[in-house]
Amino acid sequence: MDRIKLIGFMCLLLFYACLDRNATTESNESKKSIIRPKWNNAEINSDLNLSTPEIIKKTGYPSETHVVTTKDGYILTLHRIPGENGSLPVLLVHGAFSTDIVWITLGKGKALAYLLADQGYDVWLGNLRGTTYSREHISLSTSEWKYWDFSFHEMGIYDVPAMITYITNMRSQPLHAYIGHSLGTSGFYIMATERPKIARKVKMMVSFGPGAFADHMRSPTRLILYLINEIEPILRLLFHDELIPQSAYNILKTLIGCNLNFYFAEVCANFLIFTPNGYDPEQLNLTHLPFIVSHLPAAVSVKTVVHYVQVIQSGKTRQYDYGPTKNLMIYKSVEPPEYNLSSITLPMAIYYSNNDLFADPIDVKRLYNLLPNVIDMYEVPRPSFNHAGFIWAKDAPKLLYERVLKIMKENYSSSIL
Ligand SMILES: *[C@@H]1O[C@H](CO)[C@@H](O)[C@H](O)[C@H]1NC(C)=O
Ligand SMILES: *[C@@H]1O[C@H](CO)[C@@H](O)[C@H](O)[C@H]1NC(C)=O
Ligand SMILES: *[C@@H]1O[C@H](CO)[C@@H](O)[C@H](O)[C@H]1NC(C)=O
Ligand SMILES: *[C@@H]1O[C@H](CO)[C@@H](O)[C@H](O)[C@H]1NC(C)=O
Ligand SMILES: *[C@@H]1O[C@H](CO)[C@@H](O)[C@H](O)[C@H]1NC(C)=O
Ligand SMILES: *[C@@H]1O[C@H](CO)[C@@H](O)[C@H](O)[C@H]1NC(C)=O
């Protein structure tokens, strides 16, 4: 059985590797400025096995781990870099295939979580259901398909509300800002439309590479997502609807050399980062690659992928489509209900980029036109900035975070006036 799983999985990824068209077409110019890894960089290597809180501590910040249980029984982990008494709480939520490790990858003085802590914020890092730090449930196990019976809808109506409620109760004050990347933004939009009472506890929201509409999504990953959509029943049978069994992934990463052999770092980077997200090799510090591949990709449910394909194909941001008959039973309508984005009244700041293959500028502008209270709408001023750039670009502090920190400060001053 394990062998069948592995073969099935390898076929998927081989198919995916064939899509890597741009890997061989880079210009001499960009080759020069690629940051070559220091092979066997001892500092990075010693972090490979460390968890988010361990790395935070090692970087010289205090760190805490908190656990929240959602209304539907999922047990989620929040990591925290606590601020002083009276500091403003902020919550950061990662995208698909990720964990909260993405907020600290760039390291001290660069990664957003540390910059926020340096500015005196009380920094909370959320981990969505199913991912590395949030795989427990009060009664279900990750080896049951029932556990994986969720998409970003459930993240939006259960995970995000549970995190926000926990933090605001503990701090007895509103959340100053929610910062989301990709899927982490989708969860927030769904929370804000379906659980507006919770949204009132949040002062502002920052979106990186927002995930609302996706019909202009350009990533070659589209094809593999469509394939997953088609073979969902097989995946349910083989993997209990967990898209990427960690064991299969680890074997594969070893095979293409991501884990063991730094020599293949660039092949690996093309495969895992540039092909899906957009090509921008100068902005990825390859020294971080062993760290990234030792922690990611994290698990995702097949239903999340299928729901995402529905968003791409329908051009609508709406609840999961079970087909007319079951829709009628669940929603009392043949079509699934749409999320009413124009009902989100809290201040929103939106950051997007030209070469983001997931959040295409056309789709982002459509979202912008629906949201009634956008306080900042900003295209990152680098044409090749990609979907992963929001978390891993070496110049993200200058190109993006400086502006975000400024907007967060301004929104604070305006809300206390
Ligand atoms: C490949 O690179 C070219 C030039 O940089 C770009 O125009 C094109 O969109 C890229 N294609 C893919 C699939 O990334
Ligand atoms: C690119 O590199 C190749 C081989 O290294 C060289 O022959 C060619 O002239 C270079 N092209 C440019 C535009 O520098
Ligand atoms: C990480 O853990 C694995 C298995 O526990 C071990 O083989 C490896 O040497 C460790 N790597 C580092 C850098 O500590
Ligand atoms: C912060 O609050 C806690 C609990 O209320 C208290 O124990 C601690 O002394 C306070 N710290 C400062 C620096 O005021
Ligand atoms: C790349 O990452 C390493 C390890 O964090 C760091 O020492 C180095 O300064 C980084 N290089 C650039 C250009 O950011
Ligand atoms: C969506 O929300 C807006 C603002 O609250 C409201 O005016 C509109 O009627 C809502 N649309 C639907 C379809 O409920």
Give per-residue pLDDT as tens, 187-237: 999 999 999 999 999 999 999 999 999 888 887 777 778 887 788 777 777
Q: What is the pLDDT of residue 18?
A: 47
Residue 387 has pLDDT above 90, yes or no: yes
Ligand at minimal distance from the CA of 43 is: 5
Cis before residue 297, ω within 30 degrees of 0?
yes
Instruction: Tell me if residue 182 is catalytic.
Output: yes
Ligand at minimal distance from the CA of 82 is: 4
Q: What are phi and psi of 59, to 5 degrees?
A: -75, -10
> Which CATH number does the domain housing residue 149 bear?
3.40.50.1820
Nearest CA to ligand 3 atom 1: 49
Which has the minimum average pLDDT: 37-41, 240-244, 344-348, 355-359?
37-41
The whole-number average pLDDT for the span 345-353 is 96
CA of 208 to the centre of ligand 3 (A): 33
The whole-number average pLDDT for the span 74-97 is 96
Rounded CA gap, 6 and 236, in Å? Answer: 15
Nearest CA to ligand 1 atom 1: 22
Nearest CA among 121, 82, 142 for reference residue 298: 142
- Tell me the residue range of the domain where 246 lies: 2-415
CA of 29 to the centre of ligand 2 (A): 9
Residue 106 has pLDDT above 50, yes or no: yes
Which has the minimum average pLDDT: 1-15, 90-104, 266-280, 386-400?
1-15
Ligand 5 atom nearest 44 alpha carbon: 4
Greater confidence, 274 or 199?
Answer: 199
Name the token pair of 162: 């549970």
Give Cα 288 distance to the centre of its chain. Answer: 18
Name the token pair of 147: 């556990």
Q: What is the pLDDT of residue 2?
A: 52
Q: What percent of the chain has pLDDT over 90?
A: 62
The whole-number average pLDDT for the span 341-366 is 95
Q: Residue 251: CB within 6 Å of ligand 5?
A: no
Residue 171 has pLDDT above 80, yes or no: yes
Kindly name the residue from 182, 186, 207, 219 that is annotated as catalytic.
182
Residue 391 has pLDDT above 50, yes or no: yes
Nearest CA among 162, 148, 43 for reference residue 91: 162
The whole-number average pLDDT for the span 277-299 is 80
Query: Please, which pLDDT band fits residue 265 given cuts at 50, 70 and 90?
Result: low
Ligand 1 atom nearest 274 alpha carbon: 14
Residue 260 has pLDDT above 70, yes or no: no
CA of 282 to the centre of ligand 2 (A): 18
Rounded CA gap, 209 and 363, in Å? Answer: 10
Instruction: Tell me if residue 141 is catalytic.
Output: no
User: Which of 19, 21, 22 maximizes ligand 1 atoms within 8 Å of its Cβ, making it the mutation to test the pocket?
Assistant: 22
**Which residues are registered as beta bridge partners of 285?**
35
Q: How many domains does the chain have?
A: 1
The whole-number average pLDDT for the span 110-122 is 97
Q: Residue 65: CB within 6 Å of ligand 6?
A: no
**Which residues are registered as beta bridge partners of 350?**
207, 377
Query: Please, which pLDDT band fits residue 290 given cuts at 50, 70 and 90?
Result: confident
Q: Residue 342: CB within 6 Å of ligand 6?
A: yes
Greater confidence, 26 or 415?
Answer: 415
Q: Residue 40: CB within 6 Å of ligand 3?
A: no
Q: What is the pLDDT of residue 8?
A: 57
Residue 245 has pLDDT above 70, yes or no: no
Kindly name the residue from 94, 295, 307, 387 that is annotated as catalytic.
387
Q: What is the pLDDT of residue 19?
A: 46
CA of 35 to the centre of ligand 1 (A): 21
The whole-number average pLDDT for the span 122-142 is 95
Residue 264 has pLDDT above 70, yes or no: no
Q: Residue 49: CB within 6 Å of ligand 3?
A: yes
Nearest CA to ligand 6 atom 3: 343
Ligand at minimal distance from the CA of 250 is: 3
The whole-number average pLDDT for the span 319-345 is 96
**Residue 64 half-sphere exposure, CB side, CA atoms within 13 Å?**
10
Nearest CA among 324, 325, 389 for reference residue 353: 389
Q: What is the pLDDT of residue 24?
A: 41
The answer to whether the beta carbons of residues 360 and 216 sit under 8 Å apart is: yes
Ligand at minimal distance from the CA of 196 is: 6
| Mean pLDDT score across all residues of the chain | 86
CA of 232 to the centre of ligand 5 (A): 41
